[in-house]
Amino acid sequence: MTLAVAGLDEDEIKSLTERLSEGDWSGFSPAERLAMRFALKLSKTPWAVTAKDRSALIEAFGKHRALDVIWRAAWCNYMTRVADAIQFSLEKENVFMPEKR
């Protein structure tokens, strides 16, 4: 849903999510790939995140945007774990996508 809010249409979202789910990050900039590797590391092995990881984000994005990457990755992990623990069902419809006419 965030991608729709960012302005991507249904076809762009489908293409992007397929590439991401297949692990194809080749169409992303080096900084974007760095952010995705960081988010994956934080998600799967949070204890392995190091000062070097943080420094790399700061070098690529600057202090404030690096904090945004860290915050967003941590927040998404938190929300996923809460939803999993409570066993929320996934939403069937994306309320942010324009209605088809």
How far are the Cα atoms of 16, 70, 71, 89 from residue 94, in angstroms, in the given order? 16, 26, 24, 14
Q: Taking the alpha carbons of 7, 98, 11, 72 in that order, is the dihedral positive or negative?
A: positive
**What residue ranges do the domains of the chain occupy?**
28-86
Residues 33-46, mean pLDDT to the nearest whole number: 94
| Reported confidence tier of residue 1, pLDDT bands at 50, 70, 90 | low
Q: Which pLDDT score, from 0 to 100, does residue 9 have?
A: 84
pTM of the entire predicted model: 0.75
Taking 90 as the threshold, does the pLDDT of residue 98 lie above it?
no
| CA distance linking residue 37 with residue 32, whole number of Å | 9
Q: Are 98 and 5 in contact (CB under 8 A)?
A: no
